[in-house]
Structures are given as C-alpha cells and as structure tokens.
Amino acid sequence: MAMPPAKGLQHEKNKVLVMGAGNFGSCLADHLADSEHDVLLWSRDGAQVEYFNQHHRNSQYLQDHQFSIRINAIGPELPEASVISGVDVMLFAIPTEGVRETLKNLRPRINPEKLPLFIFVNKGIETKTRALTLEIIADTLGSDVASVATFISGPSFAKEIVKRQPTSVTVASLSMTHAEKASQVFHQPWFRCYIGEDPIGIELAGALKNVYAIATGTADGLGFENNTRAMLITRGLSEMTRIGAAYGASPLTFLSLAGVGDLFLTCSSSASRNYTVGYRLGKGEKLEDIIRTLGSVAEGVTTTKGLHEIVQELGVNAPIATAVYECLYEGKDVQDTARSLMSLPFMRELDLPQKAEGPALNLMKKLGRG
C-alpha cells in the first residue's frame, strides 16, 4: 500500500546533488525525483554509476526497485565546481566517518558566493574526534556554512520510503529559514516534515539510538521477549535524554521523531542493521564476522566507541551504552552483561543533569553563537 500523489500540490523544483548512492541516499534521490526535482546521484563506484544509468536500478542497494528516470548517476570522481555551482541543494548521505575528508576535498569546488542548501542525513559520531557532523562542517567549510546546514532524521527505512509508505521526519537547523527550505524540498503527502532548531540534539539522537538498537538486538538474540525489549527501549530513551541534556541539547528533542520515533523503529525491526549486529552477537557470533558479512555499514558499532568517551567525559550514568561498549570492544560475554545490568541496584527512574554546559557550549562558540 502506497500513498497516492496529491493533486495540485505546488512546490519549487530544484536541482539536487545527492552525495552517496547507498541504501538511504538512493531512496532519498528517488523520493526527490518523484517530487519532480532534477537529481544527480554521486557514487564513488564507477561500475555502480554505469549500471544505474543503463538500467535505472542500483546494483547494490534496493535492487528490486526501478528508480526514476529523473536521476542521473555521476562519479566516481568528485563533482567538479561547475556541477556544484549548478545545483540548488547538496544532500550528504555518506557515513559519518567519511564526511570530513569528503568536505575537505569539496571545499575548493564550492563557490562561497553561490552556496547550495546543505542537507545531511548521516547518523553518527566521528570516532577519532568525537565530533558531531555540525562541528565537522564548521571545521571544513566554516562556521557560516555550519550555521545554516540542515539535518534530517527520523524513523525512515529506505525500503519503505521507495514504496511511498507514510513517513515523517524531523528537519533541524540553527537557521529556521533553512530548515523550512529543506522541508519544502522534501515535503510530500507520503513524506511529512516537522521543523526544529536543535541540530545538536537531532544529531545525538540519530547517533545514539543505533547503540541502543545493538542492545535490543542482542537481547532478542539471547531469547528475551517483549518485556525486555520494552524495558531497553524505555531505559535507552532515558539514557539518550540524560546524555543529550548533559551535552547541551534540549531534552525535548529526544521526544521527537528523530528521538523516540527513530529509537523505537531501530530497536524493533530486523531490517535495522544495528539491531542485526546485536541479534547476531546474542546468537554467539563474533563482531569481526558480523561486520565482514553484513553487507552495509552499521554506524552504531563505531558510534559506541565515541559515545563511551563522551559518557566518561560528561560523567553521565549510562549503563546500557557502557554494556554495549564492553561487549563490542572489551570482549565481555553478552550473557554475563545481561545479568550484570539486571543486578544493578534500584535507582531514580527519571532525572536530568543539573548542569548542561557540555560540548554544545564550545561548539556554539566555534560558530560565533556563544
């Protein structure tokens, strides 16, 4: 069942460059093309580019889907300055670990006098620096670009978006004008956008929920059932909110589509890559074997490492996130970890840190907003 197109829906047509032809980048390119935008889809895989343009299919992702003829694939070289200057929107759908290098290489090709609307849909924390994408943008393209960059996040599986099943997301930016512009680009009867001005909270929620999806998948792999899943989702939301508030984000952001909405989806479906990693861990597989055979990136694995350092730095109580880190990187047995979590003493259920002057404060200063 798909939502029918709306009759008489008017919106501005744009030229859009989607950086990344993976699962999510491809599905968003198709959505945008179906919304009558002209779309370029960049891939670093030359064979994938050639196959896409010949068959209007992705040889690696969503292989059963016939993509819109309004999409033209380009690559594997990065787009030239002439291409970038001709687009209205640049959407980045590449893993967080590759964002910094990509933006550094693109910077000489971007005309600061004719900036496109920058939209980011990746979810994660850069492992080496513990930086959110907002900070990576500031470091590579400057604070002026970071201040107007937009972020889209929410419960949105690619295979359902291409079927035009009803989906809603959060669109956030420090500039509400740019959040509204991004929403206008994406908004359709089957794809509703809600705007906000807490990109830091949106980014944290999108990154952290992957860690808790690993925890929930592990519990399912161990054979635990609905009570346990509900417990982990609820307590995971509590930890995310506590970490986010200590970081400097708004606690309300974690009640949004990008917060509890995405958390619930990712923790309750075998279609989630991060859930799958946890499930296979619960079944006794080794992490190296899981990653090697997964077929796509599970950003929660790398995010867990960055989150562990952030939790320690902030002094936040986050036992589930800590447990996931111990299982992934310290070789702790998942059965023993489950017993340890359930053996913790009782504690106050809902609490927020008294001080919320974490890394967000320094990031705002870097953007000239401190």
Q: Which of 114, 209, 286, 366 is catalytic?
A: 209
**CA atoms within 13 A of residue 180's CA, in its CB half-sphere:** 3
Q: How far is CA 300 from CA 63, 176, 328, 350, in A?
A: 24, 29, 10, 25
Question: Omega into 359 within 30° of 0, i.e. cis?
Answer: no
* Pairwise CA distance, residues 312 & 242, whole Å: 13
Q: Strand 89-92 vs strand 71-74: parallel, antiparallel, or unpaired?
A: unpaired
Angle at 123 between CA 159 and CA 81, to 5 degrees: 90
Are 239 and 311 within 8 A, CB to CB?
A: no
User: Residue 123 carries which DSSP code?
Assistant: -
Provide the Cα torsion 22, 26, 29, 30; round to 10°: -170
Angle at 116 between CA 111 and CA 117, to 5 degrees: 145
Q: Alpha-carbon distance 350 to 370, whole Å?
A: 29
Instruction: Judge contact between 19 and 110, C-beta under 8 A.
Output: no
DSSP annotation of 142 reads -
Listed as own residue / partner, the contacts of 304-311 with beta carbons closer than 8 Å and 24 or more positions apart are 304/211, 304/214, 304/328, 304/329, 305/127, 305/329, 306/124, 306/125, 306/126, 306/127, 306/130, 307/125, 307/207, 307/208, 307/211, 307/243, 309/130, 310/125, 310/130, 310/243, 310/247, 310/359, 311/243
13 included as an active-site residue: no
- From CA 305, how far away is CA 286, in angstroms rounded? 17
- Residue 146 in contact with residue 138, Cβ under 8 Å? yes
Residues annotated as catalytic (active site), given as ranges: 209
